[in-house]
Structure 1
Amino acid sequence: QIKTVNVRVTTMDAELEFAIQSVTTGKQLFEQVVKTVGLREVWYFGLQYMDNKGYLTWLKLEKKVLSQDMKRENPLQFMFRAKYFPEDVAEELIQDITRKLFFLQVKDGILSDNIYCPPETAVLLASYSVQAKFGDFSKETHKAGYLTSERLLPQRVLDQHKLSKEQWEERIQVWHEEHRGMLKEDAMLEYLKIAQDLEMYGVNYFDIKNKKGTELWLGVDALGLNIYEKDDKLTPKIGFPWSEIRNISFNDKKFVIKPIDKKAPDFVFYAPRLRINKRILQLCMGNHELYMQRRKPDSIEVQQMKAQAREEKHQRQLERAMLENEKKKRENIEREKEEMEREKREMMMRLSQFEEQARKAQRGKVLIGSHYRRVNSYSALVEENKIRPAMEVQEDLLKTREELQLVMTVPPPPAPAMLMMEDVQVEEGEHDDHEENTRTYSAELLVETIKDNRNEEERLTEAEKNERVQRQLMALSSELADARDDTKKTQNDILHMENMRAGRDKYKTLRQIRMGNTKQRIDEFEAL
């Protein structure tokens, strides 16, 4: 009999439980998870677990789950997370579920300060995350305190400003109101479009040393390999795009990267642990493959997914437009009804004045009696108006008015001044392991199939492209300046402000650190 084991997989917004067999592979478990979640863009994701030494490790898909070096718990614990990041979320992420999983993971990274985010950007992002959760702001639904239990800002940002919880909520609410009309899914995408410009977004950092023994960071991301000095994870000093690298290998702790440029020497660095080295190699291979894939025409599967996503979005927009339309119709009918009720009250008031004057005249009484019947039938009409078309109601109202005017112009006694009423106006609503190892692990990176397309170096940040975002960030920055406590600045705050003053951003830095030929940059790395 085959032994079964219980497994718990935690995604960014759910917990899934499975029973697997002792022979189940990582791939089989992964496929079960993506099928349950409804995810088709599987190439970004992986399953993480805590190994026996307390390190987070990615589950190997080709091996049996139980043969891998994990803590033996019941159930076995895994986290379903994005392992690779897109270069441009708006261009590449297709399904809503993919965008949602990235949104939740990136948001968690920002709130826990694993991704540095300046205060003004953090507040703007918080307002998008509120729109993504609550939809449009509504005074009736979102009373004061509606954000009290929400985790919206990194603790660092809260500590650096002399603002109460209520004051933070007021600021975020103002920006939440600005996003009116934005679909929840679109709010998540807007969040990611701003977050992807943060310097630490999507970067995996590893401790390395160069030949001289200088301690540095190696950053592996969607665009290539970058080298950072130990006290600055925001601004890389040297960069190598994936299109410049043909082979990556390591033996024990020594990493060798062979550039495509035959004149350039090998790029050599040292990493402390074998299993970390395996992880670096795996991330390099996966990121390189996706980098190349993005520079080729879409596969048939991706084309189909994009077409389906467009259709679903169109359907959502239609449904939303219909709901908005219905809502406006209801509001207009309510407004008409109130207007008619008001006119009815005015008529009754005038009628009572007329009754007073006509009391002594028998003829007046007869007329009033008949008019009372009119008013009563008009009252019934107002009730009926909830379902009757507005034009019909309008005609009836005009007829009633004319007859009332006729009654009131008949002597005796002298009638009051003729009633002048404007037509009812219907306002439109707003439209708006082993540690020692002599084996060499190697990966050949194929690059011949594409042209050296390094368009990422020409990219603009969302704030540069989008005037609205630029305006919002400037307004927030000056708003927060008065409440800022400068004694609580962190090293990252200081580095970020230096970059801002120098006019640097993620993409300008990238362009700068890749300048010169490969050899010059390798020499520069050795000199660090």
Structure 2
Amino acid sequence: MVIINVRVTTMDAELEFAIQSSTTGKQLFDQVVKTVGLREIWYFGLQYTDTKGFLTWLKLNKKVTAQDVKKEQTLLFKFRAKFYPEDVQEEIIQDITLRLFYLQVKDAVLSDEIYCPPETSVLLASFAMQAKYGDYNPESHKPGCLTSDRLLPQRVIGQFKLSPEEWEKRIMVWWADHKNTNREQAMVEYLKIAQDLEMYGVNDFVFYAPRLRINKRILALCMGNHELYMRRRKPDTIEVQQMKQQAKEERMQRQLEQERLTKEMTAREAAEQKQKEYEERMEKMREEMERAQRELLHAQDTIRRLEQQLAELQIAKEQLESKEDELRRLNEQLRSEREMSSEERERLEQEVRRREQQVAEMREQVDMKTQETERLQREVEEARAVQERESSRQMNTFSVKEVDLDENASENGQVATELTARGDENVPQRELERITAAEQNLSLKHKLDALTADLEAVKDKQQLTEYDLLHMENKRAGRDKYKTLRQIRGGNTKRRIDQYENM
């Protein structure tokens, strides 16, 4: 029995198998999905490049070696989505299915296989960053951190006069809006937007093909899409119902866990904010106490100088009284001794004048010291008044801070109780989520319009492609693929054919 090596590349892994020459396509396909852990197998297929260079899907009912696979040492296949769901959020059940679709659609958008308008490309890039890195954090996600990531189609980058840093800044603005969105939900939001693009789910091929093989491929795709169309409109099988129930329970559990983590993060941020406010208050109180201490030292110094001044004033007054007494005695001596000689009288008069001058100088000094003492007394009284007011205010402030801290401690205790005791009671209300989703979509439209206007100013119109012009024309006319589909399906058969031929 001949053993053949096979390499199968998924969107995020590379698998290698050894098969026999009699292995059918279904056996290989089953082996791949079993290894990947995929149960929603009806969307996927194995793709290969045939000997003519055309991409072809492996037929499951035929042997692998009987098909037009390039006969190499190792047979190469790609595990890809062959058919696409109409509504990603409603139809995709497993997370592995969601991830494979997300990676394939993202790659198709970035490689321009699916045409995407510039403003929508920025939005999709922001959801891709949320799915890859989680919540945007300004401290860890600095400018330039997305340099190694493929963010936008090369076509979009070349159409606008913006640097990579300017593109990154616009993406980060949107990324910050997706806070508390888990990775799976970010992938769902990405696909919900991508599924509205004109080329989403469209297999490109030449319609009038000279080779029978391509016609058969077109027929197989049409039959597969029709089978999925009918599957969606029939009641789910027991297996699908079980898968949906299991996926619903897992997602509900993740959502409850996400809400619990979000609540804990909110409580922690609130506690950190309270702690920061407390530290700021303590710092302010410390500064006020230091200022009060400086003022107190200044007041004490003023009091010491006042006491010293009072002592000097007292000494000066005593000296002045002594000089005045000496002057009185000299005057009395001058009046009583009438018979003294003229020389003695003149000497005595000079002594009296000198003493009078000394007394006048001392009186002037006493007056100056008295004024200085009065000024110092006023300063001391003012300092004491300020000190009393400051002490009273600090006592009031301290009592208020104690009350605030007690209230904060009570609030934090209540939050902790809610997190530990009643965290599982807050089951999300789906009605509110539906309303919020509608409002978010409306907000999203306004933001996209604003971003379109912002990019219009830096657009290089010479770089516009035929698809860009066609998209702009459809947008001006208010056309989209859903309206076109409704128009095609409306009326009788002849009208539908005419509508289709006029497209």
Q: TM-score, normalised by structure 2?
A: 0.69
* Other-structure match for 1:33: 32
- Structure 2 distance, partners of 1:161, 1:315, is 44
Q: In structure 1, how many angstroms separate the alpha carbons of the residues matched to 2:468 and 2:495?
A: 31
Q: Is the 8 A contact 1:194 1:463 kept in 2?
A: no
Q: CA 1:174 to 1:348, structure 2 compared with 1: closer, same or farther past 3 Å?
A: closer
For 2:470, give the aligned amino acid. Answer: L
Aligned-residue offset at 1:195:
1.2
The match for 1:501 among 473, 476, 485 is: 476
Unaligned runs of 5+ in 1: 210-270, 359-412, 430-461
**Greater displacement, 165-174 / 199-208:** 199-208
Partner of 2:186: 187
Deviates more, 1:314-323 or 1:52-61: 314-323
Counterparts of 2:267 and 2:500 in 1: how far apart (Å)?
67
2-structure distance, mates of 1:51, 1:89 = 31
Deviations 1:81-127 (A, max 9, x none): 00011111122111121111111111111111111111111111111
Counterpart of 1:42, as a letter, is I
Q: Distance in 2 between matches of 1:516 and 1:202?
A: 26
Cα pair 2:487 2:499 within 8 Å, conserved:
no
Contact between 1:26 and 1:63, CA under 8 Å: does it hold in 2? yes
Q: Counterpart of 1:486?
A: 461
Structure 1 residues 527, 87: CA separation in 2 closer, same or farther (over 3 Å shift)?
closer
**Equivalent residue, structure 1, for 2:231:** 293
- Tell me the matched-pair count: 385
Residue type at the aligned position of 1:276? I
TM-superposed deviation, 1:520:
4.8
CA distance in 2, matches of 1:336, 1:514: 61
Change (3 A) 1:526 1:121: closer
Distance in 1 of aligned mates of 2:35 and 2:43: 17
Greater share of helix residues, 1 or 2? 2
Partners in 2 of 1:503 and 1:347 — Cα distance? 64
Q: CA contact under 8 A between 1:103 and 1:188: conserved in structure 2?
A: yes
Q: Which of the two has higher C-alpha Rg?
A: 2
**Corresponding residue number in structure 2 for 1:392:** none
Matched, 1:476 2:451: yes
Cα RMSD of the aligned pairs, angstroms, is 3.4
Identity %: 62
Say whether 1:21 aligns with 2:25: no
**Which residues in structure 2 correspond to 1:63-212 (within 5 Å)?**
63-209=62-208
Task: Please tell me whether the aligned partners of residues 124 and 472 of structure 1 are also in contact (alpha carbons under 8 angstroms).
Answer: no
Deviation at 1:343, TM superposition (A): 5.9
- Letter of the 1:274 partner, please give it: L
How many angstroms apart in 1 are the aligned matches of 2:499 and 2:135? 52
Aligned CA distance change for structure 1 residues 161 and 342 (closer, same or farther; 3 Å)? closer
TM-score by length of 1: 0.66
User: Does the residue aligned with 2:113 lie in a helix, a strand or coil?
Assistant: coil
For residue 322 of structure 1, the aligned residue among 248, 260, 264 is 260
Matched residues in 1 for 2:294 and 2:160: separation? 69
2:2 aligned partner? 3
Q: Answer whether contact 1:137 1:177 (CA < 8 A) is retained.
A: yes
User: Which one-letter code corresponds to 2:252 in the other structure?
Assistant: H
In 2, the alpha carbon distance for the partners of 1:355 and 1:165 equals 55
Structure with higher RCO (Cα < 8 A, 6+ apart): 1
Matches within 5 A, 1:243-392: 271-338=209-276
Instruction: Tell me the amino acid that sits aligned with residue 187 of structure 2.
Output: M
How far off its partner does 1:517 sit? 2.6
Would the aligned equivalents of 2:128 and 2:186 in 1 still touch at CA under 8 Å? yes
Unaligned runs of 5+ in 2: 298-387, 416-436
